[in-house]
Amino acid sequence: MRKPSKILSAMMKNYKCSFIGLLLTVFIMLFVFACSNNDDPTPVPTPDKPVPVDPVEELTNSLLADYSPIFGKTISAETTPSVYEVIQKGRDACLDDDGEISNAEKAAVSWITALLLVEIKPQVQDELLAKGYSLGKVAQDFGNRIDGNAAFRFSSLTNAVMHHDETFLALIEKARTE
């Protein structure tokens, strides 16, 4: 077996490096090895992670912000609870239970929201329907070849079906008085 001094001198000849450079390399390697030891109890700081947003809640908040100025008052669970509940029922009737919201569903929810708000406040029906149509078209334009007209037809049909429920009709009447 060779002695360590012969190994070092052979390395210095083969790699044409100085003894100081070799020592620095060894110290750096030892330092890296010591720093990579996972026994260090000091936690590594992590950046703040954003809070995940529920897509259904995000869609609802977006619709409320879009329709409230036309409706003439802020639509929310606190200020207009019956109107808010009507919108929630329409939204839930148009969404799947998969947790994802497709562009076709966005178009359908935008349109049924407009239809329901027109029933509650018919004085601004033209503005509400124009907003519902434009929001549905935006969802259609950004969708991957969705049929926006099918989404409009689906939400119109869903709206008609919802009107066969007496409790829903009572909720609409209550929302008209808010």
The reply to whether 70 and 146 lie within a common domain is yes
The reply to whether 131 and 101 lie within a common domain is yes
Q: What pLDDT band is residue 6 in, cutting at 50, 70 and 90?
A: low
The reply to whether 89 and 165 lie within a common domain is yes
pLDDT digits (tens, 9 = 90+) for 91-136: 999 998 887 888 888 889 999 999 999 999 999 999 999 999 888 8
The reply to whether 63 and 147 lie within a common domain is yes
Q: What is the CATH number of the domain that holds 139?
A: 1.20.144.10
Could you give the angle at the alpha carbon of 152 between the alpha carbons of 143 and 150, nearest 5°? 65
In a domain, 43, yes or no: no
The reply to whether 13 and 69 lie within a common domain is no
In a domain, 48, yes or no: no
The reply to whether 30 and 116 lie within a common domain is no
Q: What pLDDT band is residue 146 in, cutting at 50, 70 and 90?
A: low
In a domain, 168, yes or no: yes
Q: Which residue has the higher pLDDT, 115 or 5?
A: 115
Q: How many structural domains is the chain composed of?
A: 2
The reply to whether 28 and 96 lie within a common domain is no
The reply to whether 19 and 98 lie within a common domain is no
Q: Which amino acid is at 103?
A: N
The reply to whether 87 and 151 lie within a common domain is yes
Distance CA 142, CA 152 (A): 16
Please report, in angstroms and rounded to a whole number, the separation of the first and last CA atoms in the chain.
95
pLDDT digits (tens, 9 = 90+) for 31-78: 555 555 555 556 566 667 666 678 999 999 999 999 999 999 999 999
Any residues with CB less than 8 A from the CB of 159 and at least 6 apart, and which?
Answer: 90, 112, 115, 116
Q: In the prediction, which pLDDT does 100 show? A: 84
The reply to whether 22 and 96 lie within a common domain is no
Residue 140 has pLDDT above 60, yes or no: yes
Q: What's the whole-model pTM score?
A: 0.69
DSSP per-residue letters across 33-47:
HHHT-TT--PPPP-P
Q: In the prediction, which pLDDT does 13 show? A: 59
Domain boundaries, position 73: 55-176
Q: In the prediction, which pLDDT does 119 show? A: 95
The reply to whether 31 and 64 lie within a common domain is no
Residue 151 has pLDDT above 90, yes or no: no
The reply to whether 100 and 16 lie within a common domain is no
In a domain, 89, yes or no: yes
